[in-house]
A and B are shown apart, each in its own frame.
Chain A
Amino acid sequence: MSTRRIRGAAATAALAAAVTACSAPSSGGGEGDAKSGSVVIGVASEPDTLNPLLGYGKDGNSKIFDGLLAHDADLKLKPALAAALPEVADGGRTYTYTLRDGVEFSDGEPLTAADVVYTYRTALDAKTNNTFKSELDAVKKVEASGDDKVVFTLKYPYAAFAARTVLPIVPEHIAGEQDPNTGTFNTRPVGTGPYVLSKWSKGEKLTFKANPRYWGGKPKVKTFTMAVISDDDVRATRLRSGDLDGAVLPPNLAATFKSDDGKRTYDAKSYDFRAVTLPTPNKVTGDRAIRRALDAAVDREAMVDKILDGAGRPAYGPLPVDDPAFTKAVERDQDLGKAKKILDEAGWKPAGDGIRAKDGQRASFTLLYPSGDKVRQDHALAYASDAKKAGIEVKAESATWEVIEPRMKNTAVLAGFGSTGDPDFGLYTLLHSSLAGDGFNNMARYDNPAVDRALDTGRRGQDPAERKAAYDKLQRALVMDPGYTFLTHIDHLYVLADRWEDLGTQLEPHEHGFASGPWWNIEDWQPKK
């Protein structure tokens, strides 16, 4: 090939590239409104996968899938794919579910007991890379009996088991053909839920269409889009410009929509607490007098007002004040006098610099909070300043989780957590001594025999009154020896265009935005008249 001919070819190639780079004529995008039945919502993050076997929607509220049971607005269990609540027999060891008739997956295949069995067996398979296998730890075996009955046999009576069966059911004829960890089902799921996924552009948005085969009737919202916008300010701006119909927002930005007539703010109460772990092995944080003094010294009301702009509630324990299992008697105000008295009686005497000491040990410890989380940083600083008033020095430091993890066994951490469904779910892993330091369970290595006993009763007892009494005892025991200083339960705020009716929020867990929010029941929304 001669140099001249190559030059010619190069010029032609360049020209061709320039022509293809020209743009096509543009077409206008549609505005979502109640008449056209489309809704666009801005959320902060997207799921890594849409496969329930890897944990998507495991706590319910998936729009693509249904579980055997579902939660209603008050978090009570109601039948979904099961025709009724399960029959419990054998002293709480067997749970039998009868499937609803005539349910089809969105590809037209009927749902059978085999799909349910496949879902649970795969979720429990050690080779499946999910993090929730231990939540189903009580299951000994799951079997189909005929086409429409599924029987779970448990290793021990587990009172809260029914609430675990909100786990979405996947079709064996599709998911069973592939590797659950990396198969196409992760990005192209097929379920029985009110909507089907029409497109997922990773990192950008997910689009859903109403499922014509849905067993629960036709939703009025025909299409909805979850736009993934990680930056709070950008999300608020796009909501203001009409690009979005609704969004999850932090309190300060949600407040800017207060005077906007066309928008409504939804304030969802939650189980999402912020607390300081007080590790038992540490000489200072493991001391009961220090713990009780800190508990009395913190001004929870001020934290709710100043840090959360009022969008939250003081946390007197792991359960929020509006949970049915919450014990009213443990509500308490800041009491610096009491804090000082406790410390004086226990022999923590003020030294020269205002910080107390006992037997040569200064009442001082480090508190780590995850960097970049402003709400936790504010909590940590407020906590440190309250503690100082009682003569305890708290050194707040920011760190990444990579740094926090190896240190959390004897360093205090500003943690956030909270599960819905049943008191057992959040409390057992947080407080039981058998799980001390097990991964991220019981980070504070809390060890209190009375609390352990109450947890076991609550987990295995079959009588609701007996369980309630156990959780009541537990909350009181926690006040006597507060191994965590519970500070606040934070509200989750959502702003939505006011074009739909029948909207409300549930009590929400720590995780929120994608599944929970006013759209938890988007299939029931009705257009405003």
Chain B
Amino acid sequence: MARLAGRRALFAVPVLLVVTFGVFAIAAASPFDPVKAYAGTAALGADQQTLDRLRENLGADQPFAARWWQWLTSALTGDLGDSSVLRQPVAQVIGERLVWSSLLCAVAFAAAVLVGTVLGVLAARRPGSLIDRTVTSLAYTLEAAPVFWIALLAVWLFALQWDVLPAGGLTDTASEQVTAGQVASHVILPAGVLAVSQLPWFTLYVRQGVGDALAEDPVRGARARGLSERTVLLGHALRSGVLPVLTLIGSRVPELITGALLVESVFSWPGIAAATVEAATAVDFPLLAALTTLATAAVLAGNLLADLLYGLFDPRVKLSDM
């Protein structure tokens, strides 16, 4: 197990190098101009000398490979550089925002797992029943619906039409302090939308897993022994049906990250994802590279987690063979 983790950590190094280099290359090739992004509307009234001076000061006149190397060498010494678009050190940007993104993702994921399990089990109990057909078709519909569209729909319905939940932000507009209660009411809508976007695959996997388990010999035996339907469902079928699904959670991290990106933008949630969008459109190299590294690390960690869980919970898989 430790060997597997160690091997993966070694493997992560070249991946991170390639990914960050790729990000620098793509950003340099994009039509966005870091100087214009930095100056914002003020650039549309600026003289050439000013624009040139900014280009030099921001280091935007150097080739991207040189900038990548600079970024890499200073990042290794612990200096992540300064974000030009947010006018703050990158470490500070991440420190301020990571906690809110983690909260959003954690709440969303917990909700998706809980609701997904319940729906999946309900659907698997009687394949082909009305519940099963409803849940399955709903899952396929949601699978096809873009996250930002669901988010806008949710804002329109819950905030604008019914006025039951706040439309965005972290706290009420007029409040100064960040209180737990305010954050709790503000997190419902974005986390709910993110959960809904993660729900379909999970529900369908659980339905499949539990359905297969219900058709297996041990379950048939348990039923034959006259155990109650509840015990059979929760004790036998759910356990053997859901374990393989749990192992998949880690591999869904990339989807969660892209989902969070869109949801945070729509709900003006002050998290890391919103900063990523800004960094990308402003060609803010240091910030973009740091955030990409974070995301890549999260994906790699998710995959590692998936493999470890697989080895732990599935008796057929030996970690030593991986």
A17 within 8 A of B: yes
Residue A51 CB within 8 A of the other chain: yes
Q: Which residue of chain A has its CB nearest to the CB of B179?
A: A27
- From B87, B176, B312, A7 is in contact (CB under 8 Å) with B312
Across the interface, do B47 and A26 meet the contact criterion of CB distance under 8 Å?
Answer: no
Does B268 have its Cβ within 8 Å of any Cβ on chain A?
yes
Binds B, one of A114-122, A432-440, A444-452: A432-440
Is B4's beta carbon under 8 Å from chain A?
Answer: no
Cβ of A510: which chain B residues have Cβ within 8 Å of it?
41, 45
A32 touches B174 (CB 8 A): yes
B-chain residues with CB within 8 Å of residue A402 when the two chains form the complex: 31-33, 36
B95 within 8 A of A: no
Within 8 A of B (CB), among A177-206: 181-182, 184, 186-187, 198-199, 201-205
Which chain B positions have C-beta within 8 A of A187? 87-88
In the bound complex, CA of A383 to CA of B69 (Å): 50
Q: Which of A204, A438, A510 has most B Cβ within 10 Å?
A: A204
Q: How far is the CA of A440 from the CA of B48 in the complex (A)?
A: 7
Q: Encode B33-63 as 1/0 by CB contact (under 8 A) with A.
A: 1001011111111111111011001100000
Contacts of A133 in B (CB 8 A): 50, 53
Central interface residue in B175, B179, B180, by most chain A CB within 10 Å: B175
Contact assessment for A30 and B313 in the assembled complex, using a CB-CB cutoff below 8 Å: no
Contact A131 B268 (CB under 8 A): no
Instruction: State whether B106 touches A439 (Cβ < 8 A).
Output: no
Is B299's CB within 8 Å of the partner chain A? no
State in angstroms the CA–CA spacing of A225 and B32 once bound together. 32
Which residue of chain B has its CB nearest to the CB of A23?
A: B184
Q: Which range contains the number of A residues in contact with the other chain? A: 35 or more
CB distance from A66 to the nearest CB of B (A): 21
Is A7's CB under 8 angstroms from B313's CB? yes
Closest to A179 in B: B82
Q: Which among B51, B57, B88, B174 is the interface contact of A225 at CB below 8 angstroms?
A: B174
Among B42, B43, B185, the residue within 8 A (CB) of A26 is: B185
Residues of B within 8 A of A24 (CB): 179-181, 184
The smallest beta-carbon distance between B182 and chain A, in angstroms, is 7
Chain B residues 265-296 with CB under 8 Å of chain A are: 268, 270, 274
List the one stretch of A87-95, A166-174, A233-241, A317-325 in contact with chain B: A233-241
- In the complex, how many angstroms separate the beta carbon of B2 from the nearest chain A beta carbon? 9
Docked-complex contact A31 and B88, CB < 8 angstroms: no
CB distance from B287 to the nearest CB of A (A): 11
**A residues less than 8 Å from B184 (CB atoms):** 23-24, 26
Asked whether A400 and B106 contact (CB < 8 A) given A207-B176, A439-B50, A439-B51, the answer is no
Q: Is the CB of B42 within 8 A of A131?
A: yes
A181 touches B87 (CB 8 A): yes
Selected from B46, B50, B88, the residue in CB contact (under 8 A) with A186 is B88
Using known A-B contacts A29-B182, A243-B173, A402-B32, determine if residue A234 contacts B86 with beta carbons closer than 8 Å.
Answer: no
Q: Determine the distance from Cα of A202 to Cα of B275 in the docked complex, in whole angstroms.
A: 10
Sort chain B's interface into a size bin.
35 or more
Contacts of A385 in B (CB 8 A): none
Query: A135 → chain B, closest Cβ, in Å?
Result: 10
List A136-169 residues whose CB lies under 8 Å from chain B. Answer: none
Map CB proximity to B onto A1-26 as digits: 1 under 8 Å, 0 otherwise.
Answer: 10100110010000001100101111
- Among B70-78, B134-142, B162-170, the one that faces the other chain is B162-170
Asked whether A205 and B58 contact (CB < 8 A) given A25-B181, A234-B167, A237-B160, the answer is no
B163 and A241 form a contact (CB under 8 A): yes
Chain A residues with CB under 8 A of B85: 48
Query: What is the minimal beta-carbon distance from A53 to any residue of chain B, in angstroms?
Result: 11
Q: How far is the CB of B186 from chain A (nearest CB, A)?
A: 10
Distance A1 CA – B312 CA, assembled complex (angstroms): 12
The answer to whether B82 touches A181, judged by C-beta atoms less than 8 angstroms apart, is yes
A205–B169 contact, CB under 8 A?
Answer: yes
Give the complex CA separation of A243 and B160 in angstroms: 12
Cross-chain contact B58 with A129 (CB below 8 angstroms): yes
Chain A contacts of B112 at CB under 8 A?
A: none
B165-209 CB mask vs A (1 if < 8 Å, else 0) is 001111111111001111011000000000000000000000000
Assess whether B173 is in contact with A51, with CB atoms less than 8 Å apart: no
User: A408 CB to closest chain B CB, in angstroms?
Assistant: 11
- Residues on A with C-beta less than 8 A from B270 are 201-204
Cα–Cα distance between A228 and B170 once the two chains are bound (Å): 12
Q: A26-B181, A48-B87, A131-B39 are in contact. Are A40 and B45 (CB under 8 A)?
A: no
Is B254 interfacial (CB 8 A cutoff)?
A: no
Pair B174/A40 contact, Cβ less than 8 Å: yes
Query: B87, A186: Cβ atoms under 8 Å?
Result: yes
* Cβ distance A512 to chain B, nearest Cβ, rounded Å: 11
Closest-CB distance, A341 to chain B (whole angstroms): 37
Cα–Cα, bound, A40→B176 (Å): 12
Knowing A126-B53, A182-B82, A440-B44, the reply to whether A198 touches B181 (Cβ < 8 A) is no
- Tell whether, in the assembled complex, residue A225 and residue B46 are in contact, meaning their CB atoms are under 8 Å apart: no
Are A401 and B44 in contact, with the CB atoms below 8 A?
yes
Contact A127 B49 (CB under 8 A): no
- List the A residue with the shortest CB-CB distance to B305: A10
Question: How close is A38's CB to chain B, nearest CB, in angstroms?
Answer: 6
Question: What residues of A have a CB within 8 angstroms of the CB of B313 in the complex?
Answer: 7
> Does A441 sit within 8 A of B, measured CB to CB?
yes
Q: Is the CB–CB distance between B54 and A129 below 8 Å?
A: yes
Bound CA–CA A263/B280 (angstroms): 40
Let me know if A134 and B88 touch, CB within 8 A: no
- Contact between A182 and B88, CB atoms less than 8 A apart: yes
**Which among A27, A31, A199, A510 has the greatest number of chain B C-beta atoms within 10 A?**
A27
Query: Would B170 and A441 count as touching, CB distance under 8 A?
Result: no
In angstroms, how far is the closest chain B Cβ from the Cβ of A491?
A: 19
Chain B residues with CB under 8 Å of A228's CB are 268
B304 CB contacts on chain A under 8 angstroms: none
Contact of B31 among A38, A55, A400 (CB under 8 A): A400
- Chain B residue numbers with a CB within 8 Å of A419 are 45
Task: Verify A204–B82 contact, CB threshold 8 A.
Answer: no
Residue of B110, B171, B174 touching A38 (CB-CB under 8 A): B174
Chain A residues with Cβ below 8 Å from B309 are: 10
Per the bound structure, the CA–CA distance linking A400 and B107 in Å amounts to 38
A227 on interface, CB distance cutoff 8 Å: yes
A204: which B residues are within 8 A, CB to CB?
168-170, 268, 270
A265 in the interface, Cβ–Cβ < 8 Å? Answer: no
Residue contacts A-B, CB under 8 angstroms, 16 given = A24-B179, A26-B182, A29-B171, A29-B174, A129-B38, A182-B87, A186-B88, A199-B176, A201-B169, A201-B170, A203-B268, A203-B270, A204-B170, A237-B167, A417-B45, A439-B43
* B residues apposed to A, CB below 8 Å: 1, 31-33, 36, 38-51, 53-54, 57-58, 82-89, 106-107, 110, 155, 159-160, 163, 167-176, 179-182, 184-185, 268, 270, 274, 309, 312-313
Starting from the known contacts A6-B312, A126-B53, A402-B31, 9 additional A-B residue pairs (CB-CB under 8 Å) come to: A7-B313, A10-B309, A30-B175, A131-B42, A131-B45, A182-B87, A201-B170, A237-B160, A243-B173
Interface residues of A (CB under 8 A from B): 1, 3, 6-7, 10, 17-18, 21, 23-27, 29-32, 38, 40, 48-49, 51, 54-55, 126-127, 129, 131-134, 181-182, 184, 186-187, 198-199, 201-205, 207, 223, 225, 227-229, 234, 237-238, 241, 243-244, 400-403, 417, 419, 429, 435, 438-441, 510-511
The 9 closest A-B pairs by CB, nearest first: A26-B181, A24-B180, A29-B172, A23-B184, A182-B82, A439-B48, A186-B87, A131-B42, A402-B31
